[in-house]
Amino acid sequence: MKRGRGRFIARKVLGSLLTLAFVLVFNFFLFRIVQKDPIGSLFRGRNVPAATLDNLRSAFALDQPLGTQFIYYLRETAQLNFGISYQSRQPVWNEIISAVPATVTLVGISAILSAVIGTLGGIIAAWRRNTWKDHTITSGTMVFYSMPDFWLGMILLVGFAVVLGWFPVGGIVDAGSNATGLSRLLDQLHHLFLPASTLTLAYLGEYTLVTRSSLLEVMGEDYLTVARAKGLRDVIVRNRHAVPNALLPVVTLTAINFGFVLSGAIAVEAVFSWPGLGKATADAIRGPDLPMLQGLFLLFSAAVIVFNLIADLTYSWLDPRVEEA
Amino acid sequence: MNSIAMQRRRATAARVWRQFRDSRQGMIGLGVLGVFVLIALAAPLLADIRELNPVFARSSGNPQWGSPEVFAPLGTDHIRRSVWAQFVWGSRVSLFVGLAATILTILIGSVVGIVSGFVGGKIDGFLMRITEWFLVIPFLPLAIVLASILGRSVWNIIFVIGITSWPSTARLLRAQVLTVKQRLFVDRARSLGAGGPHIVAHHILPNVSGLILANATLAVPISILTETTLSFLGLGDPSSASWGKTLEEAFVNGAMVRNAWWYFLPAGLGILAVVLAFTLIGRTLEDIANPRLRRGR
C-alpha cells in the first residue's frame, strides 16, 4: 500500500514534468514560426546600424542553427530571461513579476468567494431539489454561467460606477493618490469590489452545478438511509454524511481553478483597467508584443500544470481508490 | 445500409424526439435558438447591410451616439452605424463561428477518441499523452497566442477554437468506445469476418452518436464564448463583425462612460440567449443519451 502510493506520486510528478517539457518545446517552435527576426522587430522603425543588429543577433544566438537556438532558449528560460518587451523595452520577466500581485489578489479572492458561495448554493439546491429554492439557484447560476464574464463586468461598471457613482471606474488605487496604511487599503478594496464581484458571479455557476449533481448522486446511497433510520436529524445527515462525500469532485475543481488564477481574468482585467497579468496580456495582444505573450503563456501554463498536480495528489489522498485506476 | 437498420434508426430518432418534447428546458432552448436562427437567416430582410458602413450611415443622416428614442429600434454608435443592423448581421457571424468551430472540435475529438479507444495499445498511449498535454495547456491563453500569430480572420478563429478544445471530447469518446467495444455484437461482427473500419462505421459509431450529439451541443456555448472573448481582446475579423466585435468597439470607443447602454446590451444579451439555449438543449440530449445522469431527480 505504502509503495503503491509512492509510485503513484512519482508517476504523477513525472507526468507533470513531461508536460512542462512539452510546453517548453511547443512555446519555442510556436514563436519561432512567426518571429523570423526578433531583433529586427525590436528595433523596427529606429535608426540602428546593420552591424549593431548583427552583433545583437549573434549575442542572442539567432544566427545559429535551430538546435543551438533551442539549447540557448532552454538556458535563458531556466534563468528566467524571457527577452525584452517590445512595448515597454523592459525585461519581460520584470514586467510579469510586477503584474503578479494585482492578479493574485483579484482572482485569488474571487476564486475563494466563488468556491464557497457556489458550493453552498449547490448544497442547498440539491438538498431541496425541485423546490423554488433549487429552481432559483439553478437557473440564476446558469444565466451567470452563460454570459461573457467581461460583459457582466461592463454592465456592473456602467451601473455602479458610471450611473450610480458608488465605485471607481477602474485601476487599483485613485490616480495621484499617495495615501498609505489603512486609507490606502480601503481605497484598494473600493477599487477591488466591482471586478471581484464580476469574477465571483462568473465562476459561481460551475461550483453550484458540480456540487448539486455530485450531491444528488450521493443522496441515492444506502448509507444515508441508514443514517436517517438511526434517527439522525436532517442537518446532521446532510453535513456529516452526505456533503463530505459529495465534495470530492468540488475539491478537484477548486484545485484546477486555482491553476487558472493567473490567467483567469484576461478580459475582465482589461474592462476594469486592473494592472495585472490579464491586462498585460490584453495590452500585449494589441502590439502584438510577442516576447511578452510568450513569457505570459509559459507562466500561465506552468501555473496550471502545478495546480493540476496538486489536484491529482489531493484527490488521491482524499479518495485512495483512484490510485488503483 | 440495409432497411432493418434504417428502420431501427428512424425509430430511435422518433423516441429521442418524444423524450425531448417532454422536457420543458429542452423545448425552451429549442424555441430560443429557433428565433435566433431565423434572425440570422432573415438578416437581409431585417436590416440593410449598408447600415454597417460608416460612410453610408453618415450620408443618410444618422445621428452620432443616437439613443433608441432618436434612432429606432436600437440607436447608433460612435460612427453613426445602426446598432440594430450590427446585432442582426452579427448574429450570423457569431452563430456561424460557433457552429463551425464546434464541428471542427467534434471532428478532431471524435477521430482521436474513437481511434484511441478502438485500436488501443501504443497508438492509444501516444494519442492520450497528446490529449493530456492539450488538456493541461490553459485554453484561452493558447487560443490568444495562436490567434495573435495566425492573424485576424474568421477562419483562423474557427481553427484556433477547434484545435484548442477537442481534448475533452476525445477523452469522453474514448471511454465510451472502450465500453461499446466489449459488447457481444462487436465480437459477433468480428467472428463473422468484419474488419476494423466496418465495425467502427456500423457498430461503434451508431452507439456513440447520441453522445457525440450531446457533446457537440454542449461544446457550442464554449465556442461562442471563446469567439466573443477573442474578438473582445481585438483578435476578431475586422471585415465580418460578430457580437464580440460589437462589444469590443463599444468598449474601446467609450460607450460605457457615455452610458450608451443600447450599444453594448443587445450583443451581450444575444450571446447570453444563444449560449443558454444550447446549454439547455445539450443538457436535455445528455439526459436522454445517458439516463443515469438524470439531473432532475
pLDDT band at residue B224 under the 50/70/90 scheme = very high
Give a yes or no: residue B67 inside a domain: yes
Cα–Cα distance between B39 and B50 in angstroms, integer?
17
The nearest alpha carbon in chain B to A284 belongs to: B148
pLDDT of residue A228: 81
Residue showing cell 479507444: B117
Q: Please judge whether A151 and B137 are an interchain contact, meaning their C-beta atoms are less than 8 angstroms apart.
A: no
**pLDDT average, residue stretch B232-236:** 88
The reported pLDDT for the residue numbered A42 is 61
Residue B264 forms contact with A (CB below 8 Å) = yes
Contact present, B206 and B54 (Cβ < 8 Å): no
Asked if the Cβ–Cβ distance from A151 to B247 is below 8 Å, we say yes
Q: How many helices (H) and strands (E) does chain B have?
A: 14, 0
Instruction: Please give the average per-residue pLDDT across B224-232, as a whole number.
Output: 91
Question: What residues of chain A lie within 8 A of the CB of B138, using their CB?
Answer: 259-260, 263, 300-301, 303-304
Phi-psi region of A83 (alpha: psi -120 to 50; beta: other; left: phi over 0): left
d(CA B279, CA B272): 10
Please check whether residue A26 touches B, CB under 8 A.
yes
Cis upstream peptide for B266 (omega within 30°)? no
Q: What is the CA radius of gyration of chain B?
A: 23
Whether the link from the prior residue into A65 is cis, omega within 30° of 0, is: no
Rounded to the nearest 5°, which phi and psi values hold at B82? -70, 125
Contact B149 A30 (CB under 8 A): yes
pLDDT at A309: 85
**Per the domain annotation, does B283 fall within a domain?**
yes
Between these two residues, A58 and B160, which has the higher pLDDT value? B160
A181 Cα to chain B: minimum distance (Å): 31
Q: Is A221 left (phi over 0), alpha (psi -120 to 50) or beta?
A: beta
Q: What is the ipTM of this complex?
A: 0.86
- CATH number, residue B166: 1.10.3720.10
Tens digit of pLDDT for each residue in A288-318?
Answer: 788 888 888 888 888 888 888 887 887 777 7
| Cell 439553478 -> residue | A138
Note whether residue B2 is domain-resident: no
Q: Which of A209, A50, A221 is nearest to A122 (CA)?
A: A209
Taking the C-alpha atoms of residue A148 and residue A268, their distance in angstroms, rounded to an integer, is: 10
Q: Which of A93-102, A199-208, A281-290, B189-198 has the lowest mean pLDDT?
A: B189-198
B271: which chain A residues are within 8 Å (Cβ-Cβ)? 147-148, 151
Distances (CA, A) of A302 to A28, A297, B18, B232: 15, 9, 48, 25
B252 touches chain A (CB under 8 A): no
Does A61 score more than 70 pLDDT?
no
Average pLDDT over residues A253-282: 84
* B272 contact A CB<8A: yes
In a domain, B87, yes or no: yes
What confidence score (pLDDT) does residue A63 get? Answer: 67
Domain with B166, as residue range(s), is 21-291
Q: Give the H/E segment covering residue A215.
A: helix A181-218
Q: What is the pLDDT of residues B16-61, one digit of tens each?
A: 888 888 888 889 999 999 999 999 998 888 887 777 777 877 787 7
Chain B CB within 8 Å of residue A304 CB = yes
Q: Enumerate the β-bridge partners of residue B76.
A: B82
In a domain, B15, yes or no: no
Q: Does B133 touch chain A (CB under 8 A)?
A: yes
Closest CB from B140, B225, B268 relative to A266: B140
Residue A109, min C-alpha distance to chain B (Å): 20
pLDDT value, residue B295: 47
Interface with B, mutate which of A16, A154, A164, A224 (most B CBs under 10 A): A154
Taking the CA of residue B52 and the nearest CA in chain A, the distance in Å comes to 22
In a domain, B10, yes or no: no
Q: Give chain B's domain count.
A: 1
Taking the Cβ of residue A24 and every Cβ of chain B, the question of whether any pair is shorter than 8 Å is answered with no
Decide if B140 and A263 are in contact by the 8 Å CB cutoff: yes
CA distance B197 to B184: 18
Average pLDDT rounded to a whole number, residues B161-182: 87
Q: What was the pLDDT predicted at B61?
A: 73
Contact A297 B141 (CB under 8 A): yes
- Buried residues in B244-255 as b, exposed as e (16+ CB within 10 A): bbbbbbbbebeb
**Residue B237 resides in a domain:** yes
Q: Establish if B72 belongs to a structural domain.
A: yes
Nearest one of A246, A307, A308, A268 to A110, comparing CA atoms: A268
Residue B53 CA to residue B73 CA, distance in Å, equals: 18
Confidence check: pLDDT of A2 > 60? no
Q: pLDDT grade, residue A75 (50/70/90)?
A: confident
CA gap B140, B118 in Å, rounded: 31
**B54 touching A (Cβ < 8 Å):** no
